[in-house]
Amino acid sequence: MGKINLLSQETIDKIAAGEVVERPASVAKELIENSIDAGATAISVEIKGGGIEYLRITDNGSGIDKDQIQIAFLRHSTSKISSAVDLDNVRSLGFRGEALSSISAVSKVELITKTKDSLLGASYIIEGAKEISLTDVGAPDGTTFIVRQLFYNTPARKKFLKSESTEGSYVFDVVEHLALSHPEISFKFLVNGKEKLMTSGNGTLSDTIYQIYGRQIASNVLDIEYVDEKVSITGFIGQSVIARGNRAFEHFFVNSRYIKSNNLSRACEEGYYGFLMGHQYPFFVINIAFTDSAVDVNVHPTKQEVRFENESEVCQLLTKTINQRLRRREDVLETHIDEPTIKQAPIIQQPTVSTVPVEAEVKPETNYQSIPAQVSATSSEVIPPKPVKTPEPFEKDRLERIKQSITAQIHNDTPYEKKFAEKNRGGEKYEQISFLNKEAVKEHKIIGQVFDTYWIVEYDKNMYIIDQHAAHEKVLFEKTMARLKNNQMTSQMISPPVIVSLSPQDVLLFENYREAFEKLGYRVESFGGNELAINGIPGNLLNLDPKAFFLEVLADCQSYKASDSFDMIIERVASMSCKAAVKGNNRLSIPEIKTLIDDLLELENPYHCPHGRPTMISFSEYELGKKFKRII
């Protein structure tokens, strides 16, 4: 072993900084959280050079007393806790006392601060953990941090940073998360002198979602709320029309602290089962608040990971709450004829789903025919609204003017747009008449079938287009799921049995999933060696090739773990439904389509096929009138 050396304080500070300060976004997060903890109602964030060269955080919070400034920059100095006992009830965002020490160790920091009771403010400059000056200055109430030349004295760390635009986008993510978790605070974000975001701080989360993501997303979110004596779950979840291809639009907060959790993400995605296509992920902003000390936020230096008691129970609550909310409203995809080409904002970043079994009443099968078709669904992206221009930060009455200006912008819609927004924002102001209920079906006017695939139905000043394959697939899926849940799956015995030759690995794979195959309705015995004899097949397999389908199911088993057998069953049920469903390019009679609509009527979620594609879309009379220039 080499000689053991005692490290200098400078070296210790730089090493410690690596735990907290990874990039400009880390600095922004720590300083903005300090502003929030200081009671700020307005926070301005400005960056230049991606935040590497310049980052300024200004707030109107309580400020720091001059005699406390130097102490604040020492390691493990904090005003948030006084002993280990306080860790059990931490409610502030910061509490470790490492942020200012770590930031000042690897950058040039200038602090300007003033408390409400002080006549003068104070200016403090510290570079590379070395004090430069502490002087009195004139300043408004609150605190401004200016951080320059991040990692100027640790070039090895600086070279691992990404481009300025990428680092800037990470800072934007931090501001976005904190704005969503604190809608009562007005946030302003500037990049190289240009305003990129402004929120009103009026305390209404739906308005903050609008200001960050724009009308198209804000108009397609549903409020959720669950409260008991231990936990509350509140926020907004997106409808299927605003789903994305990754998890960047999934926002979790625990006690208003942004966190990342694979378990919580999977729980929410399970709640969307049957409402989204495969490989699509939902939009949601969800805050989970605990009423006691059930959360441990002291498990990671960045505090983006937390540990809480009864995590499995919370996950089940999330799944149930989301699924029930989605089933409370009709989710027909409303299509706009003149939809513009929509782009994603370059600075904003943007889900294979497990299962939630759905009960459905088992009705007699309709004898639909079968032939192949492809169904496609449209996806869209969103342009955030143009930020509202406002005067310079923190002058008198500024915050109120911002609130009034943005609120006016949100609600300054045409009569039709107001109706549309009210119907969707919060889901309570406008009650949508369901297309699929017993009374509504009596008023349906079936116009006919186009392309031997889609049915056109007129109802309540809307034109509905039903995809016969997706609709029938959904009916078969729900009926099969009901049989699975009630252990009513039937087997159709075949003679002579079908012999299948497998590899030794596939034989072992089948034995691992034998129970799942039996639940589906297969009856299989060993035929010696590596061969199996299929004596019975699922009763609703119809005329599909039993051998080919068995091999297809078995091949899919390779992507699952033994503990995922029920998930595998669900996936294969969906596949079975798809294969057995009536296809496109196959003309149905009016009595057959009426029977199909009656079958949809019995389902809890008739608006999406098992793969999440829409079973129907709608065009309003208004949209058609607009297209034909009857409405200008």
Q: Using pLDDT thresholds of 50, 70 and 90, give the confidence band for residue 616.
A: confident
- Residue 1's SS3 state is coil
Distances (CA, A) of 437 to 440, 478, 571: 5, 17, 29
> What is the C-alpha separation between 193 and 207, in angstroms, rounded?
25
> What is the C-alpha separation between 413 and 300, in angstroms, rounded?
45
Look at residue 567 in the predicted model and tell me its pLDDT. Answer: 65
Question: How are beta strands 295-296 and 250-254 bridged, if at all?
Answer: unpaired
Which CATH homologous superfamily contains domain 440-632? Answer: MutL, C-terminal domain, dimerisation subdomain (3.30.1540.20)
> What is the C-alpha separation between 131 and 632, in angstroms, rounded?
66
Place of tokens 């935040």: 51
Tokens of 157: 């760390």
- The most confident of the ranges 40-49, 81-90, 162-171, 327-336 is 40-49
Average pLDDT value for residue range 20-45: 92
> What is the C-alpha separation between 579 and 588, in angstroms, rounded?
17
Look at residue 419 in the predicted model and tell me its pLDDT. Answer: 41
Look at residue 239 in the predicted model and tell me its pLDDT. Answer: 87
Average pLDDT value for residue range 532-544: 77
Look at residue 561 in the predicted model and tell me its pLDDT. Answer: 62
Is pLDDT larger for residue 391 or for residue 575?
575
> What is the C-alpha separation between 350 and 196, in angstroms, rounded?
17
Tokens of 307: 């540990």
Look at residue 300 in the predicted model and tell me its pLDDT. Answer: 45
pLDDT tens-digit readout, 541-598: 656 677 887 888 788 777 666 556 666 666 666 666 667 777 767 778 888 888 888 8
> What is the C-alpha separation between 211 and 224, in angstroms, rounded?
20
Look at residue 414 in the predicted model and tell me its pLDDT. Answer: 39
Strands of 231-238's sheet in order across: 221-227, 231-238, 284-290, 250-254, 257-259
Tokens of 597: 């609509």
Is pLDDT larger for residue 329 or for residue 166?
166
> What is the C-alpha separation between 381 and 214, in angstroms, rounded?
11
Distances (CA, A) of 471 to 87, 234, 365, 598, 606: 53, 33, 14, 11, 7
Task: Answer yes or no: is pLDDT of 78 > 60.
Answer: no
- Residue 579's SS3 state is helix
Q: Using pLDDT thresholds of 50, 70 and 90, give the confidence band for residue 405.
A: very low
pLDDT tens-digit readout, 415-437: 433 443 444 444 333 334 478 77
The CATH code of domain 9-198 reads 3.30.565.10
Q: What is the dihedral of CA 548, 553, 556, 558, to 10 degrees?
A: -100
C-beta atoms surrounding 371 within 10 Å: 11
pLDDT tens-digit readout, 106-117: 999 999 999 999
Q: Which of 88, 109, 93 lies closest to 152, judged by CA?
A: 109
Average pLDDT value for residue range 121-140: 94
pLDDT, mean over the chain: 76
The domain segmentation of the chain, as residue ranges, is 9-198, 440-632
Look at residue 461 in the predicted model and tell me its pLDDT. Answer: 85
C-alpha 467, offset from chain centre: 28
